[in-house]
Structure 1
């Protein structure tokens, strides 16, 4: 059996993965990194891989937050984490039928294109099945990091599960993501 290919890029979900999930957050002052997130991103950066964020932001379509508010929150995330190489945001609602809302592959494909890498050599790290689904729909791999909102069936169905972000990055960098 061939060795798994090393990833060429790592993409993170934002809410519940990089930062504590504040539903429909439009306030940069409320951004707080998840435990271990700063170190996890630093480890990917130290490995020399490009990093990106893929984030559903349906609050824009729902009229709860503006794109400008989401951009301000993302700028705060960038500031805390030292910047990301690409941001891909889906501003649509679940009923909009877009190709970008996770678990659709659009954001992962656009992130890979922006980074100049094969989507099959990307790993998405996230906290719910939609993150895993988007990675797989784009031909890539994923690591699920469960949080209290992650459903048990999502954990059972995920091909790679990590107890925390540090373990997720180790799995991703080793080429063991599923």
Structure 2
């Protein structure tokens, strides 16, 4: 069954670049091929959104504006950023689905026609699962650990696809959208 995808939500750390750990936007670099992958999604007419937990914002180590500027420079249509710490009790921090729901409201999206790409099963994949979005786990960043050592934390959820990296995820998306 072909689905006409409407939007793609992409995690930052470990998915598009970095190490999986916090990196200030000024120190962050994209993985090879990540920018081309983002451009291909946009060229295909898909909305591309960043969604990321960045609790170091609450510690004053970076600002939401610094992250937003970075995401816009990469060509994202918008960014959804949770600045809260793990114990703040917000509804936006993944694995909660608040960022996805906010995007759906703002852009009038049916989340069942959207895809989430991330490297962490017990945050990215669980947030996507909660709203019925399709899920792609990349093996970069924390991806291998999510599939192996930490699989028990999200064992009830299966990704729709497991990709080597963002480039391979985009090839799968565009192939399933034609």
Measured against the shorter chain, the TM-score band is: 0.7 to 0.9
User: 1:94-133 maps to which residues of 2 (within 5 A)?
Assistant: 94-129=86-121, 130-133=123-126
**With structure 2 as the length reference, what TM-score do the two structures score?**
0.83
Structure 1: where are the runs of 5+ without partners?
none
Worse overlay, 161-170 or 148-157: 148-157
**Offset of residue 50 of structure 1:** 0.7
Counterpart CA distance in 2 for 1:21 and 1:148 is 6
Aligned CA RMSD, in angstroms, stands at 2.2
Equivalent in the alignment of 2:85: 93
**Structure 1 114/121 Cα, relative in aligned 2: closer, same or farther at 3 Å?**
same
**1:142 is aligned to 2:135:** yes
Q: Which residue of the partner structure matches residue 166 of structure 1? A: 167
Give the structure-1-normalised TM-score. 0.83
Task: Provide the secondary structure at the position in 2 that maps to 1:72.
Answer: helix
Are residue 53 (structure 1) and residue 50 (structure 2) matched? Answer: yes
Distance change >3 Å, CA 100–CA 75, structure 1 → 2: same
- Given that 1:106 and 1:138 are in contact with CA atoms closer than 8 Å, whether structure 2 keeps it comes out as no
> Aligned pair 1:31/2:25, yes or no?
no
1:71 aligns with 2:65: yes
Listed one character per residue, the Cα deviations across residues 7-38 of structure 1 (whole Å, up to 9, x for unaligned) are 11011001111231374333x33121112210
